[in-house]
Structure 1
Amino acid sequence: MDFTSSNNLITTLFIIFSTGLIGGLSPCTLPTVVFISAYVSGSQSYSKKKGFVLSLAFVSGIVLMLTILGLFAGIIGNVLMQTKILNYFIASVLILMGLWILQVINIDIRPKNLQITKKGSGIIGAFLLGIPFGIAASPCTMPITASVLAYSASKGSVSNGMMLMFIYAIGRSLPLLLVGTFTGFLNRIKGIGKYQGVIEKISGIVMIILALYFIWKA
């Protein structure tokens, strides 16, 4: 571990987890897991137990994808750690994602006509659908995911990159797991949606400020 102290490590993990949790609570993300559970179960009506199992399989795909991305981020960071290129790379990603969140620019990288499972495909289908969803299927969380990836690369370690993205993935997946298991949970937290615009603007500004910090360090 290249974190300077255990306190810094705990603080960093808490921030990363909280960032994932905020992303997971996004109004454009939460309803998706209900539709996916209904699709892969082959029915609009299913028990809480089945909803939990399908949702767990779905978020497992998300966690796997994000952890693998953390591995590659760690490799890239390790290679570039001895140069100033890494700082400029991270700053570029943060600025781009900040402008995306602030809706100054619009990027759509969602896969078109994604069909990797069939209706009623069950647990395997839910898992397979979770893999692309982990990175590209939700425009609300993509800027946050890319920014966390950039930060993971700044740690310059494969193990750190994987750990940070794994913690982020757990935070992002927890709301999805709850919604998929208890569909009523979605109605209880819909009020969060009215604050989404404010949260996004603050997040975008923070990302740009962080980008300037990385440029200053370089």
Structure 2
Amino acid sequence: MILLDIGTWAQGAVSGGLLLALPVALLAGLVSFFSPCVVPLLPGYLSYATGLSATDVMEGRGPRLRLLAGSALFVFGFALVFVLQGVAAGSIGRALLQHQRALTIVLGILAILLGLIFAGLVPLGQRDLRFHRVPKVGVAAAPLLGLLFGLGWTPCIGPTLAVVLSLAMTEGSAVRGGVLAFVYALGLGIPFVLAGLAFARMNKVVRFVRRHQRLLMRIGGGLMVAVGVLLLSGGWEVLMAEVRQWATGFDVVI
């Protein structure tokens, strides 16, 4: 009975519109990783989280377990920030369910504006609040540093995060909002951990991103605008209805 209840809860928590929003959130996290306030400063962030020098991180000379632990705990710290924001957004959306269509229109307009900002076509929100004098305290304080940097990144990655939180609001559920924000954090965090374990290999990707950063941000902004257009036009609800119909064809197997 307990296993069945867990399966039923899981099916309810990850179903319908959320199945459509999850890949959007994951892609938004990846786009955020390649933003100007994250990828160019990757060696510094990893140095803060592990207590190793930036040179050791870039050349892969540090202990792999230390690099893994430091980067993973750092990711855990900023993931907690985003999940709490997702839970809050989902709770607000639940309170506004009776105004669902009006809320979706407002969020659609907001997503379009944020996409244009992220693409650099609207000169707003281009600054971040990085902490420039953080001691290299190492693995033990990596979660706290993740919390601090998660808050400090918010103005810079705000457009992508805000689109994910907008989708969390349309879900109208604190649990689904938290799940959506967690997947966003995975999109941002998994490349971070991979960079910690193999920065020399990731460095090729970093150099590529630096050379084509404007193009990549334009593409990311365009995808955000597309989500906004779907929300504004009602296309998102149509797609959610299709996904819900598809999802109902599966039974709980837990």
Give TM-score, length-normalised by structure 2. 0.72
Displacement after TM superposition at 1:136 (Å): 3.9
Alpha-carbon distance change, 82 to 167 in structure 1, aligned in 2, over 3 angstroms: same
**Partner of residue 87 from structure 1, selected from 76, 91, 104:** 104
Query: 2 CA distance for matches of 1:4 and 1:121?
Result: 41
Query: 2 CA distance for matches of 1:151 and 1:216?
Result: 15
**Partner of residue 152 from structure 1, selected from 165, 168, 174:** 168
Displacement after TM superposition at 1:153 (Å): 1.0
Instruction: Give the stretch that moved more between structures: 43-52 or 9-18.
Output: 9-18
Displacement after TM superposition at 1:161 (Å): 0.4
Query: 2 CA distance for matches of 1:195 and 1:109?
Result: 20
Displacement after TM superposition at 1:160 (Å): 0.7
Q: Which residue of 2 aligns with 1:37?
A: 46
Matched to 1:111, the amino acid is L
Q: Which residue of 1 aligns with 2:29?
A: 20
Query: 2 CA distance for matches of 1:13 and 1:212?
Result: 18
Q: Which residue of 2 aligns with 1:73?
A: 89
Displacement after TM superposition at 1:184 (Å): 0.7
The secondary structure found in structure 2 opposite 1:82 is: helix
Query: 2 CA distance for matches of 1:42 and 1:206?
Result: 37
Q: Deviations over 1:87-116 (max 9, x none)?
A: 24312421331221232222256336576x
Alpha-carbon distance change, 100 to 136 in structure 1, aligned in 2, over 3 angstroms: farther
Count residues in correspondence.
214
Alpha-carbon distance change, 131 to 102 in structure 1, aligned in 2, over 3 angstroms: same
Query: 2 CA distance for matches of 1:198 and 1:137?
Result: 21
Identity %: 27
Name the structure with the higher helix share: 2
Trace 1:91-102 onto structure 2 (pairs within 5 A): 91-102=108-119
Displacement after TM superposition at 1:74 (Å): 0.3
Query: 1 CA distance for matches of 2:154 and 2:201?
Result: 20
Matched to 2:83, the amino acid is T
The secondary structure found in structure 2 opposite 1:137 is: helix
Displacement after TM superposition at 1:196 (Å): 3.0
Query: 2 CA distance for matches of 1:187 and 1:214?
Result: 37
Indicate if the aligned counterparts of 2:52 and 2:138 stay in contact, CA closer than 8 A. no
Indicate if the aligned counterparts of 2:128 and 2:152 stay in contact, CA closer than 8 A. yes
Alpha-carbon distance change, 32 to 114 in structure 1, aligned in 2, over 3 angstroms: closer
Alpha-carbon distance change, 203 to 48 in structure 1, aligned in 2, over 3 angstroms: same
Alpha-carbon distance change, 206 to 22 in structure 1, aligned in 2, over 3 angstroms: closer
Indicate if the aligned counterparts of 1:30 and 1:179 stay in contact, CA closer than 8 A. no
Q: Which residue of 1 aligns with 2:8?
A: none
Aligned-CA RMSD value: 2.8
Query: 1 CA distance for matches of 2:226 and 2:195?
Result: 33
Displacement after TM superposition at 1:186 (Å): 2.8
Give TM-score, length-normalised by structure 1. 0.82
Matched to 1:54, the amino acid is G
Instruction: Give the stretch that moved more between structures: 53-62 or 35-44.
Output: 35-44
Q: Which residue of 2 aligns with 1:163?
A: 179
Greater radius of gyration (CA): 2
The secondary structure found in structure 2 opposite 1:111 is: coil
Indicate if the aligned counterparts of 1:74 and 1:162 stay in contact, CA closer than 8 A. yes
